[in-house]
Amino acid sequence: MKTVKSWIRRTIRAAGYDLHRLRPETSPGHQLGLSLAHFDVDLVLDVGANAGQFAAGLRAFGYAGKIVSFEPLSAAHARLTEKAAGDDAWRVHPRTAVGDEDGTIEINIAGNSFSSSVLPMLDAHSDAAQGSAYVGSEQAPIARLDTIAPPYLAGSRNPFLKIDTQGFEAHVLNGAAGILPRIRGVLCELSLVPLYEGQPLWGEMLARFEAAGLTLWALQPGFTDPRDGRTLQADVILFRV
């Protein structure tokens, strides 16, 4: 049996993949699912939802609570709405960017969609991710979480905030000052090197979360430059413990 397992693993690796038992240290989704269950999270605010990949992953790893997804791009929002259909606990907010003002804003559209951002993209990003360069732009409504989140938070005991806004994370937090004390945990994508013009890097963002009473719970791999193996972005999970 051991010989068969070794052969299977060698075959999978030869194809460019690997095989692991589902454990928190080898599966970011499993780790997040366990963490949400540990803190009895009953609502996830999914900011920067794109086409619903994150929320669908939550469901795949056992989270059955409420999800509210926010996405500003019209094409991604349409796919997101379609993916959430039939899931009574997954609500999609009307097409909106989340930031530190209420009004309208211009979004840069990336060729791969999920690298889209309000901020100009730097060469460090586009060079490391083929197909991520901007191909257009689109106007979208923008709102602060302090304005649009309170109705969703009503009745939630342990809400969780996920932020994946490609360098715009500080703006999201600026617009969430009123609700942040109610948030039990956060998952945020942080950049280790500048990828978007004017974005704060990981150290500044971590200090800001810690000042808000959130403790670093886990680090998860993110965007890695395939040319040299350098980690460019990572996800951090923080909780009030």
What is the structure's pLDDT at 12?
40
Answer whether 199's CB lies under 8 Å from 170's CB. Answer: yes
Q: Name the residue with tokens 């969780």.
A: 160
107/139 Cα distance (integer angstroms): 6
pLDDT tens digits along 69-105: 999 999 999 999 999 999 999 999 999 999 999 999 9
* Arithmetic mean of pLDDT, 45-65: 97
pLDDT tens digits along 194-241: 999 999 999 999 999 999 999 999 999 899 999 999 999 999 999 999
Q: Name the residue with tokens 């996830």.
A: 44
Region label for 54, one of left (φ > 0), alpha (ψ between -120 and 50) or beta (otherwise): alpha
Answer whether 231's CB lies under 8 Å from 208's CB. Answer: no
Residue 90 or residue 25, greater confidence: 90
Total-model pTM:
0.88
Closest CA to 234 of 184, 169, 177: 169
- The tokens for 68 are 């509210």
- The tokens for 81 are 């709405």
